[in-house]
């Protein structure tokens, strides 16, 4: 299932790095879970959350055995988009994200039938590895993690705006706080000076213009740089 800013192509590399940094028995937390590309490949105790209620409702319903539709017609897509209250939240999430252009909530439909089949297949493949994941709908700021491995994939600064406003400066303050007693890894294109990149990915974007040249952008995994203790000069 596609999702705006999703990490489908990078999932194997990112999870490999995360697992290598994991301490024995450390719980894994993902506060911006989206399409579950990363958490589905992680092991052990896992907790996933998102501020988007329909999305979390969909993953919970899939855990109960719900199977998303294989085909979504143009009429069905448009009717659900215009009359969302007539449909359950989990179906709205699948159709208005999984079948929308670029995985953006309520975007234009992206190839009726073909994309819904791919979204259906992607969800069913992932859910096999998500049955024991604890899904919650809440803002990342409500978390109080302790000795956890945390992976954050927030809305990127300077990129396409999401439906909800996002305070990037406040986010990095929380990352500083969490990093004191947790292993915190953040996906972003940029970060404050007190964070360092541990790896770089060159990601190919969508085509732009008539020359069909794909745009490449760099993404990084960041961690907090530990503070150096200044014990003063010996006297």
Residue 3 placed within a domain? no
Matching residue, tokens 């990112």: 14
What pLDDT digit, counting tens, does each position of 176-216 carry?
A: 999 999 999 999 999 999 999 999 998 655 433 344 455 67
DSSP 3-state assignment of 213? strand
Q: How far is 232 from 65, CA to CA, in rounded Å?
A: 62
pLDDT of residue 129: 97
Q: What is the pLDDT of residues 131-163, one digit of tens each?
A: 999 999 999 999 999 999 999 999 988 765 544
Say whether pLDDT at 105 is over 50: yes
Q: Is residue 4 part of a domain?
A: no
Q: What is the pLDDT of residue 127?
A: 97
Structure tokens at 49: 């959350």
Which regions of the chain does DSSP assign to beta strands (E)? 27-30, 46-50, 134-137, 148-152, 183-188, 195-208, 213-224
Place of tokens 């855990």: 63
Report how far Cα 173 is from the mean position of its chain's Cα atoms.
20
Residue 50 in any domain: the answer is: yes
CATH number for the domain harbouring residue 178: 3.40.50.150
Task: Specify if 1 maps to a domain.
Answer: no
Task: Note the pTM of the prediction, 2 decimals.
Answer: 0.86
170 Cβ neighbours under 8 A, 6+ residues apart: 141
In a domain, 234, yes or no: no
Domain of 49 in residue numbering reads as 11-224
The terminus-to-terminus CA distance of the chain in angstroms comes to 63
**170 in a structural domain:** yes
- Identify the pLDDT of residue 97: 87
pLDDT of residue 7: 74
Number of domains in the chain: 1
Give the pLDDT of residue 4. Answer: 59
Task: Answer whether residue 231 is part of any domain.
Answer: no
DSSP secondary structure letter of residue 22? P
pLDDT in tens, 162-178: 445 899 999 999 999 99
Q: Is residue 235 part of a domain?
A: no
- Comparing C-alpha atoms, which of 59, 27, 65, 40 is closest to residue 137? 59
């Amino acid at each position: 299932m596609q999702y705006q800013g999703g990490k489908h192509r990078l999932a194997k590399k990112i999870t490999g790095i995360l697992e290598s940094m994991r301490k024995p028995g450390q719980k894994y937390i993902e506060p911006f879970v989206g399409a579950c590309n990363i958490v589905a490949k992680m092991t052990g105790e896992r907790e996933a959350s998102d501020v988007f209620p329909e999305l979390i409702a969909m993953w919970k319903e899939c855990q109960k055995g719900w199977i998303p539709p294989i085909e979504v017609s143009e009429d069905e897509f448009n009717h659900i988009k215009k009359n969302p209250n007539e449909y359950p939240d989990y179906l709205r999430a699948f159709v208005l994200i999984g079948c929308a252009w670029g995985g953006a909530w309520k975007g234009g439909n992206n190839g009726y039938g073909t994309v819904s089949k791919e979204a259906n297949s992607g969800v069913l493949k992932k859910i096999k590895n998500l049955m024991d994941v604890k899904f919650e709908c809440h803002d990342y700021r409500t978390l109080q993690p302790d000795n956890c491995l945390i992976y954050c994939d927030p809305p990127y600064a300077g990129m396409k705006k999401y439906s909800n406003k996002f305070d990037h400066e406040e986010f990095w303050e929380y990352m500083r706080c969490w990093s004191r007693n947790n292993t915190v890894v953040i996906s972003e294109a940029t970060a404050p000076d007190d964070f360092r990149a541990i790896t770089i990915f060159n990601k190919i974007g969508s085509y732009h213009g008539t020359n069909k040249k794909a745009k490449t952008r760099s993404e990084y995994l960041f961690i907090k740089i530990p503070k150096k203790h200044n014990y003063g000069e010996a006297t």
